[in-house]
Structure 1
Amino acid sequence: MTDERATDVAAPGRSEGPRRVGRIGLLTLAAALAAYLALSQLLVVVPVAWVMPLLRNAITQSAVLLLGAVRDAMGSWNVVSAVVAAGLSLVALRSNAGHRRAAGAVAVVAAVGLVLSVATSAALVCAARDAAGAWIPFAPAVPFSTTGDAPDETVTYATVDGQPIQADLYLPTPGSAPAPLVVSIHGGAFVGGSRGTNAYTTWLADNGYAVLDVDYRLSGVADHRWNTADADVACALTWAATNAQRYNLDLHRLAAFGNSAGGNLAINVANKINAGVLRPSCGSAAELPRVGAVIALYPAVDLTAFGTETAVGADAARQYLGGTPEQHPDRYAATDSAPHITGKSPPTLLIQGANDHLVLAEHTAAYAAALDAAGIPQRYVELPFLDHAFGTTELDTGAQVTRHLTRTWLEEYLP
């Protein structure tokens, strides 16, 4: 009898430990989610100029860019996460009598994250409507999900200095008329990245455009490719010209598409080809087709600024160009985009995140103004609260806006 009573008394004490651990775990989860939401949202409502001290350190800038990438990939799911964080914080507040002050602080942070998430998401939806003429209320459908199919064919378009360089070919449904061609150029700060299915490759093919998604030789500590990257892209175009009949391509309707470093190359290749000053790393300049239109996402058009403003940008620029702007002003002038604008430059669509913490929006806007001053058709679209590298593989709001704008641009300038 005594043993049974002892057991009955001890049982509640033994169960209190796991319950306490569970309550603390719930509070910790709510705190982590609330902190992510509040911090990531604060970074997009605070002007980029205010966080420049963080961007001058490689570690802190990388953390800012990572937060931005996660936030943009989550898209509308940030609001869902904010609601979950608020709910968890309220449950934690009620169940953690011993940690009420901490739970209250978490609830306040969660509320800030919720308010900011709703406000920024609503503003982005309205901005997308203004830019693309379409309501995009919730995107992506599934966070961190990639979109697009594998290429129809992978080709080695050249072997330069013993190094094979490849490209992926995405082809539309065969038709009687040759298909216009979009050359797609990946980003990666000139030192990384590669060709690969993204939010636009298969979509462009489904809309009647052939896509040549190209690799190019990358830079490193010992290899500075500032004078070969655009030549490699031009080399791919000589391959396309040689194989146009085989793949039923219309090289009289050619567009260049790129993001970040690829945006720089798309713009520079187009400007230089149309001006007749680009020499490809294979084939001949006579084979190069004229570029009829450019679409560039957050392009690094001002490498002189890129190489001085932020830590990650400066490191990439030094590897690409072999030194600082003070050491090699001629190289930076050769790779900046504005000096290559001529009366033959193609119509250019520029899409930029307003809160880009790597390629600052002010430089893309300045390039748009330079095109306008030269009488070149251009459109500059700045999307609020988006950081660098939005809309690459996920079908987020930025990618959907880019699709709408790209379709309209190509229909107008590659008729």
Structure 2
Amino acid sequence: MRNDLDRSPTPEAPEAGGTRSRGTRLGRIARGALLVAAACVAIFVLFGQLSAILPVGWWSPVLSTLALQQPVLSLSVIRDVYGSWLIVLAALALVVGLVELRRRGRRRLPATVSALSGLAMVLVLITTTVQILSVHGATGQWYVFSPTTPASSVGRGPDKTVAYATLGGQQLRADLYLPKTSSTAPLVVSIHGGGFIAGSRGPTPYLSWLADNGYAVLDVDYRLGTATEHTWNTADADVACAMTWATAHASEYRWDLDKVATFGGSAGGNLAINVAYKIDAGTLTPSCGSAAQLPRVKAVIASYPVVDMTVSVGETAFGEQVSDWYVGGTPAQYPQRYQAIDSANQITPAAPPTLILQGGRDHLVFADHTKAFADELTAAGVTNRYVELPFLEHAYDGTSLNIGTKATRGLMLPWLQKYVGDG
């Protein structure tokens, strides 16, 4: 007779089966989470490519609402920051989708992830290829995979920070980036963006890089507009005030004030143009010091500059806020104020050579307006170059050495060397 114990299951069997069952469930959960993550990546990359490819005008209903405009701008800027790494992200999402599609069969989610990520990867390859070819045509350089790493790279901080004036009870500061040279150096006055109502001086991918190439940099703050204080008539004067400070301290820092350029992006681009044009025309009164202390500006470099405030402020929700805070109202209410800040009105035969860079899919400062301004410079006989970088958003070059940043560097240095002098 067989022993009853022979017919009894061993005590380990249920535990082993339970462990395998739990392991299987955990594996399914992990794969499901990975598939969802791949779906999110695919949607992000695809949305970024659509915002790059579709005409800006198609987004008008979105851009008129601040709660909708801000996500579009933010996601597009992130897209530009990661640049070629989007190809890698889309490829990884595609691999996850295909693996799960093979494992599960033709289920809806894996099939959708595979289709979205595949389409996203194709679009990234197209836009990236066009950008590489376009930038090569503009700079003569090949930037095949940018940025090299997805991490931010804005350069080192300033060598020194100074207070250049106290205006309206506010202390205004400037950062100094000083080249390692025993001789005098050309000076680049850097002006930050932020819609005239936000932003501040600080490291960018250009400032310490310029110093490393022999150019001193004076990176300045200026008074910003608020709901109650409208600074449309003081922002350029504050920048000029900083330039009179530079004149007073030129010998201390070995700056050659016969070799001065202005540089800025967005609102800073507007000020870089307006300050230079007004100084060279003799029409700018600084908010400290005197006009006699202002050095003549030999060149301007402006990235995605707000050159036509009269038109731009009514095209987006953020533009309306700028209109209220910086100017104090609409162009219909204050036409003379807008006339004073629109860059085309500052053009004279004395205007210095001007390099303008513009993202082709800028949803804040539309490329059409920037190109029209460059055409006005040409018509007026002012030396200029307009370079439109395809598929790039506003502020495309803020935090990484992507293709837009490299293109700007590749164009900036020859422009300075030609019209200002070697650093």
**Are residue 30 (structure 1) and residue 56 (structure 2) matched?**
no
1:20: Cα distance to partner? 2.3
**Unaligned 5+ residue runs, structure 2?**
1-7
**Are residue 173 (structure 1) and residue 180 (structure 2) matched?**
yes
Aligned residue in 1 for 2:415 = 409
**Are residue 127 (structure 1) and residue 127 (structure 2) matched?**
no
Give the distance between the partners of 2:15 and 2:81, measured in 1 at CA.
53
Alignment coverage as a number of residue pairs: 413
Aligned residue in 1 for 2:321 = 315
Q: Does structure 2 conserve the Cα–Cα contact (< 8 Å) formed by 1:24 and 1:96?
A: no
1:313: Cα distance to partner? 1.6
1:138: Cα distance to partner? 1.1
Q: Does structure 2 conserve the Cα–Cα contact (< 8 Å) formed by 1:23 and 1:95?
A: no
**Are residue 116 (structure 1) and residue 123 (structure 2) matched?**
yes
Q: Does structure 2 conserve the Cα–Cα contact (< 8 Å) formed by 1:89 and 1:103?
A: yes
Aligned residue in 2 for 1:243 = 249
**Are residue 164 (structure 1) and residue 159 (structure 2) matched?**
no
SS for the counterpart of 1:308 is coil
Q: What TM-score does the superposition give when structure 1 sets the normalisation length?
A: 0.97
* 1:18 counterpart (23, 26, 39): 26
Aligned residue in 2 for 1:212 = 218
Give the distance between the partners of 2:175 and 2:83, measured in 1 at CA.
29
1:10: Cα distance to partner? 4.2
Give the distance between the partners of 1:247 and 1:66, measured in 2 at CA.
39
Q: Does structure 2 conserve the Cα–Cα contact (< 8 Å) formed by 1:23 and 1:96?
A: no
Give the distance between the partners of 1:119 and 1:356, measured in 2 at CA.
19
Q: Which moved more, 1:358-367 or 1:16-25?
A: 16-25
1:11: Cα distance to partner? 4.3
* 1:155 counterpart (162, 173, 176): 162
* 2:143 counterpart (126, 130, 136): 136
Give the distance between the partners of 1:393 and 1:119, measured in 2 at CA.
24
Aligned residue in 1 for 2:308 = 302
Q: Does structure 2 conserve the Cα–Cα contact (< 8 Å) formed by 1:172 and 1:179?
A: yes
Cα separation, partners in 2 of 1:144 and 1:314, compared to 1, 3 Å: farther
Structure with bigger gyration radius: 2
Aligned residue in 2 for 1:351 = 357
Deviation digits for residues 284-303 of structure 1, max 9, x if unmatched? 11111111100000000011
Give the distance between the partners of 1:227 and 1:8, measured in 2 at CA.
79
Cα separation, partners in 2 of 1:11 and 1:150, compared to 1, 3 Å: closer
1:282: Cα distance to partner? 0.3
Give the distance between the partners of 2:257 and 2:17, measured in 1 at CA.
85
Give the distance between the partners of 1:221 and 1:95, measured in 2 at CA.
58
Aligned residue in 1 for 2:292 = 286
Amino acid at match of 2:162: V
Deviation digits for residues 277-334 of structure 1, max 9, x if unmatched? 1111100111111111000000000111121001112212221101111111111111
Give the distance between the partners of 2:117 and 2:406, measured in 1 at CA.
29
* 2:335 counterpart (329, 332, 340): 329
Give the distance between the partners of 2:101 and 2:235, measured in 1 at CA.
56
Aligned residue in 1 for 2:86 = 78
Aligned residue in 1 for 2:3 = none
Amino acid at match of 1:345: A
Deviation digits for residues 202-245 of structure 1, max 9, x if unmatched? 11111111100000111111111101100000000000011111
Q: Does structure 1 conserve the Cα–Cα contact (< 8 Å) formed by 2:359 and 2:388?
A: yes
Give the distance between the partners of 1:30 and 1:340, measured in 2 at CA.
51
Amino acid at match of 1:373: A
Q: What TM-score does the superposition give when structure 2 sets the normalisation length?
A: 0.95
Deviation digits for residues 17-36 of structure 1, max 9, x if unmatched? 22221222121011001000
1:95: Cα distance to partner? 3.2
Aligned residue in 2 for 1:183 = 189
**Unaligned 5+ residue runs, structure 1?**
none
Cα separation, partners in 2 of 1:9 and 1:245, compared to 1, 3 Å: closer
Q: Does structure 2 conserve the Cα–Cα contact (< 8 Å) formed by 1:293 and 1:348?
A: yes
Give the distance between the partners of 2:21 and 2:242, measured in 1 at CA.
73
Q: Does structure 2 conserve the Cα–Cα contact (< 8 Å) formed by 1:89 and 1:106?
A: yes
Deviation digits for residues 8-53 of structure 1, max 9, x if unmatched? 5544443332222122212101100100011111110111111111
Q: Which moved more, 1:384-393 or 1:335-344?
A: 384-393
Aligned residue in 2 for 1:393 = 399
Give the distance between the partners of 1:218 and 1:17, measured in 2 at CA.
57
**Are residue 40 (structure 1) and residue 48 (structure 2) matched?**
yes
Q: Does structure 1 conserve the Cα–Cα contact (< 8 Å) formed by 2:304 and 2:394?
A: yes
**Are residue 90 (structure 1) and residue 90 (structure 2) matched?**
no
1:85: Cα distance to partner? 1.1
1:96: Cα distance to partner? 3.8
Cα separation, partners in 2 of 1:409 and 1:8, compared to 1, 3 Å: closer
Give the distance between the partners of 2:22 and 2:208, measured in 1 at CA.
59
Q: Which moved more, 1:87-96 or 1:348-357?
A: 87-96
Aligned residue in 2 for 1:234 = 240
SS for the counterpart of 2:187 is strand
1:4: Cα distance to partner? 4.3
Q: Does structure 1 conserve the Cα–Cα contact (< 8 Å) formed by 2:81 and 2:399?
A: no
Aligned residue in 1 for 2:5 = none
